[in-house]
A and B are shown apart, each in its own frame.
Chain A
Amino acid sequence: DTGVSQNPRHKITKRGQNVTFRCDPISEHNRLYWYRQTLGQGPEFLTYFQNEAQLEKSRLLSDRFSAERPKGSFSTLEIQRTEQGDSAMYLCASSFLFDRASGNTIYFGEGSWLTVV
């Protein structure tokens, strides 16, 4: 078990460009979450998937954001027409829905830092 993997770890982009982040969850984890964390704040929920279905999106997720999990395994988070306010760390996390023994434990990746200049 290699943990939740995120790529790239760091991305610097110019305002107006599109960026995409990838997340590979822990093997066989059927739930996958995206969070955003800005400096000095706790992570904020963006969206989550159960298998390939996107079940909920936060109001924080504007129309410029889109997330996919096409085969119920890895996920991508794309931000179109980036703005400086998008600068943050984007965290991916995964869990196994039916594992009550784990107590809903959600495991996080190392995060992907986005800087929009």
Chain B
Amino acid sequence: AQSVTQLGSHVSVSEGALVLLRCNYSSSVPPYLFWYVQYPNQGLQLLLKYTSAATLVKGINGFEAEFKKSETSFHLTKPSAHMSDAAEYFCAVSKDTGRRALTFGSGTRLQVQP
């Protein structure tokens, strides 16, 4: 079985500060890992994905994440937060076999203070 744990349901940063959203995964097989962002009343937009190529993955809007197998982590970072980054962020895991459906974490709401 696969699962992800997102540490911290709410994270608040100041505009211009570093953003760090934590995600740890559990998987019996090499995982595919994803970060999605959800703005209010909207669907999910893919930020970035790890598919066993480079361990440091760059995504849209200046976000990046590093896959660390030894720590079973896939934390999302952005050097400088913008007000427009305020949203809900979901980490998700899938396998490369079977239904390949995503298993999501419970989400982290990012607030950006002016």
Contacts and interface: CB of A to CB of B under 8 A. Distances in A.
Contacts, number: 63
A105 B46 contact: yes
A31 interface: yes
Interface stretch (A14-22, A42-50, A63-71, A77-85): A42-50
A33 B101 contact: yes
A95 interface: yes
Contact of B104 (A43, A95, A107, A109): A43
A113 B51 CA distance: 31
A42 B51 contact: no
A6 B43 CA distance: 10
Give the bracket for the number of chain B residues in contact with chain A.
20 to 34
A86 interface: no
Interface stretch (B60-68, B71-79, B92-100): B92-100
Given A103-B32, A105-B49, A111-B42, A48 B99 contact: yes
Nearest to B95: A104
Interface residues of A, number: 27
Interface in B41-90: 41-46, 49-51, 90
A28 interface: no
Interface of B: 9, 32, 34, 36, 41-46, 49-51, 90, 92, 94, 96, 99-107
Given A33-B102, A103-B51, 11 more contacts: A40-B107, A42-B105, A44-B104, A45-B101, A91-B44, A93-B44, A104-B32, A105-B34, A108-B43, A109-B43, A113-B41
Nearest 3 pairs of A and B residues by beta carbon: A103-B51, A42-B104, A108-B44
